[in-house]
Amino acid sequence: MSQQTVEKGYFGQFGGSFVPEDLQKVLDILEENFEKFKNDPEFNEELRYYLREYVGRENPLTYAKNLTEALGGAKVYLKREDLNHTGAHKINNAIGQILLAKRMGATRIIAETGAGQHGVATATACAMFGMDCTIYMGKHDTERQALNVFRMELLGAKVVPVEQGQGRLKDAVNAALADYVENYQNTFYLLGSAVGPHPYPTIVKHFQSVISEESKKQILEKEGKLPTAVIACAGGGSNAIGAFAHYIEEPNVRLIGVEPEEAPTLTKGVPAIIHGFKCLTLLDENNEPMPTYSIAAGLDYPGIGPEHSYLKETGRAEYVTVSGKEALEAFQQLSKLEGIIPALESSHAVAYAMKLAPQLSKEDIVIVNLSGRGDKDVEQVFEMLKK
C-alpha cells in the first residue's frame, strides 16, 4: 500500500471522506493538527505519561495456562486491555485524542457510544482534563447499558439518548456529527472507533496501535518468536486494528477478526458509503444500512473500519463469525478456567480462539486481545442465563 493512498485517507478503495463541505473544512483542520502533533516529542512524552500513570500501561500479556490445557493445542495468551483504567481498550484513544483537542484549543468534547465503554472512557478523560463533555447514545443502548449511563453522568458528562432510527450506535454517530458541524469552533469530536471520514480511522489506529506494539515485544520476550495468530473481536474495529497494527507487515502472523454472526459486516458486507466513508457495509433491500443486533452492544454496527475492509479484500486478514450462544459459552469458560470475566465483545474473540487452538500444534501461539472486562455485562448475562 503506497504512502500516498494512506495520506489521502484511502486503504485501497476504502476510506475517504464523503462529507458536506462545512464538515470537510473541520476535518482538514483536524488532520493538519494530528499530523503536526503525532511525532511531536513533547506530545508523545505527555501521552506516554498518562498511559503509564493514569491508564496503567503497559498491561500484561497473560499466558492462559488452564484454558490452553483444556483446549489441548496452541498456547493461548491474553492481551489484558481489560486491566486498563475504565476496563477496556477505549481509554488509549480517548487520552490520545483529548491531548490533541487540548492543543487545538477545544473546550468541549462530544462523542458517540454503543456499549458505553467509549462514553465512559471519554467522560473519564474529560473529568481528568476539566473539559465539558456530551455523549450521544442510542436510546435502546442507554436502556441495556443503564449502569454505564450512570457512570458517565457520575463523571460529569451529559448523556443524550438518541431516539431517531433504531436508537442504536449508528444513530448516535449521526447525532454527534450534526453537533460537530454546528459547534466546531469550540468542540472536538472524540470518535471512538476506527470508522468515520478521514482522518479518524488513521487517528484511532495510531492511538490504539500501542496494543500490538506491546504484545509484539512481550511475546518475543516470553517465547522468543512471533505468534501464529492474533485474534480480536471486530465491531467498528478499533481494538482489532490496534491489536493487528504492528503485525500487518509480518506475513507469517495470521490476523483474525471475529464478528457476531448477527452482524457479519466483513463476511457479508458490500462496499458502500456510510457515515462519510466507504467500507464493507450490510445493506437491506433498499440499499440502506441494515439494522444489526448483537448481544454485545459494542459490536452492533452495520459498517466496519476502512482498513479492515482493505485487509479483508487483500486477504491479509481473515474475518470469521461466532454466534451469541458461542460467545456466551466463552464468557463462562474463561471466567471458570482463568478467573477472568471478559466483556461480551471480547468473548467473541475468546470463542473463536477456543475453536482454533485445538486445531493447532503445541508449538503454535495464539494471542487473544481481551479488549475489555465483563463487569458491564454481568447483569445482562445473568438475565440471559436465567431464561
Active site (catalytic) residues: 90, 112, 371
Q: How far apart are alpha carbons 118 and 367 in whole angstroms?
A: 23
Render 284-353 in DSSP notation, one character per residue. -TTSSBPP---SSGGG--SS--HHHHHHHHHTSEEEEEE-HHHHHHHHHHHHHHHS--B-HHHHHHHHHH
Cβ atoms of residues 237 and 358 within 8 Å: no
- Strands (DSSP E) contained in 32-155 are 61-63, 75-80, 108-113, 132-138
Helices (H) and strands (E) in the chain, counts: 17, 14
Cell of 49: 505519561
Q: What are phi and psi of 370, to 5 degrees?
A: -85, 85
Q: How many residues does the chain have?
A: 387
Q: How many CA atoms lie within 13 A of 387 on its CB side?
A: 6
**Beta-carbon neighbour count of residue 379 at 10 Å?**
13
Give CA separation, 359 vs 63, 213, 334, 353, in Å.
Answer: 19, 27, 19, 10
Cell of 121: 472512557
Cell of 38: 503525532
Give CA separation, 44 vs 176, 206, 307, in Å.
Answer: 28, 12, 24
**Beta-carbon neighbour count of residue 220 at 10 Å?**
12
Cβ atoms of residues 138 and 166 within 8 Å: yes
Q: How far apart are alpha carbons 134 and 126 in whole angstroms?
A: 10
Q: How far apart are alpha carbons 349 and 362 in whole angstroms?
A: 20
Closest CA to 250 of 280, 230, 277, 223: 230
